[in-house]
A and B are shown apart, each in its own frame.
Chain A
């Protein structure tokens, strides 16, 4: 399965991002092949709908799970409809650590915060 991690930079030691739609990079990690690539999030600067656009991009890339800080309600709706699982990235951990925790089953499911 491919997983996507929202990140502040394009190295594995970069911090995971506190936001989904407006993060700087997505790390796409293929848990079967071990293939890892960092993709710039082209939706980060969108006037509206950064979350829906980012979710569309990840669906197009064939991602099955997302690890991120806060995921907004619109993006959440898209990810749910696409059957993409959502996991919380604890604040202050690196992409590498997040992937290891995910593999160890140590990440909590992401819940949408309602304001």
Chain B
């Protein structure tokens, strides 16, 4: 079973929830898919055993063969190729690696070469298998690293995916195909605004989901009202508590600071498992 932990708004507690859920269960696979700034390792302190470079194909042009016809530049949806006479300028950071230019070049002047965009680290933390993706600083292509992480999921275990925030491509790559998605939000106008966007996204992906309200004692009731009106399952509330924040600042997971919450995370897992089984 694959459980993705996502949110619209950043900083609502995705990693807090994902880490605590993982620590409340036995022998899960934990995957930090927030490859632009993975932070679950701060709380889980994994031992990394393996580092796998991630590359994506980008065009390389043999200018002795190029006729300057510009077919490649006209095809490229991302404008990563510009043809000045017979000189082809390639902008690798804009290339999405679709391979179209290589296929369409009538002179067969284009080949693909790998460009390293980041790394996958795999190892262990507590009783779990741990994996995280790290995108090179300054590189915009997060999705291929998440794609690569997803090829290494061990679905014989419970897999917990810690998603990036927002609703863009990296989030969709993380959440799609999951059995359940937990959307973490906070009871504020910002939390509600971005939760709506996240709900629209997971509904389009047809992934069953539930909402966790973090810092539940602050803000207002608008998130709860929204969930009730939309018939969205509110699966858990995490209290606002200074001890949680203090633990967080020391890199201590919630279930370590407040062990009494462990039972709630186990209940949450049971509820998700029941919902997933019922849906299947």
Contacts and interface: CB of A to CB of B under 8 A. Distances in A.
A56 B91 CA distance: 13
B84 A52 contact: no
Contact of B79 (A46, A60, A77): A46
Nearest to A82: B84
A49 B84 contact: no
Interface string A58-91: 0110000000000000100110011000000000
Contacts of B70: 56, 60
A74 B94 contact: yes
Contacts of B77: 47
B91 A74 contact: yes
A47 B76 CA distance: 12
B65 interface: no
B78 interface: yes
Q: What's the dominant secondary structure at chain A's contact region?
A: helix
B87 A49 contact: no
A55 interface: yes
Contacts of A53: 79, 82
Contacts of A46: 79
Contacts of A82: 84
Interface in B55-74: 70, 73
Contact of A56 (B78, B83, B87, B94): B83
Contacts of A50: 79
B79 A49 contact: yes
A52 B91 contact: yes
Q: Indicate the size class of the contact surface on chain B.
A: 10 to 19
B47 interface: no
A114 to B, nearest CB: 13
Central interface residue in B78, B83, B87, B89, by most chain A CB within 10 Å: B89
B266 interface: no
Interface residues of A, number: 17
A55 B78 contact: no
Contacts of A74: 91, 94
A78 B84 contact: yes
B78 A81 contact: no
Contacts of A60: 70
B80 A56 contact: no
A49 B77 CA distance: 9
Contacts of A81: 82, 84, 87, 89
A28 B73 CA distance: 22
A22 to B, nearest CB: 12
B82 A55 contact: yes
A101 B163 CA distance: 53
Interface in A28-46: 43, 46
A56 B84 CA distance: 8
Contacts of A56: 70, 73, 79, 82-83
Nearest to A46: B79
B89 A78 contact: yes
Interface in B205-252: none
Contacts of B94: 48-49, 52, 74
Given A48-B80, A52-B80, 6 more contacts: A47-B78, A48-B78, A49-B94, A52-B89, A59-B84, A81-B89
5 contacts: A43-B79, A49-B78, A49-B91, A53-B79, A56-B82
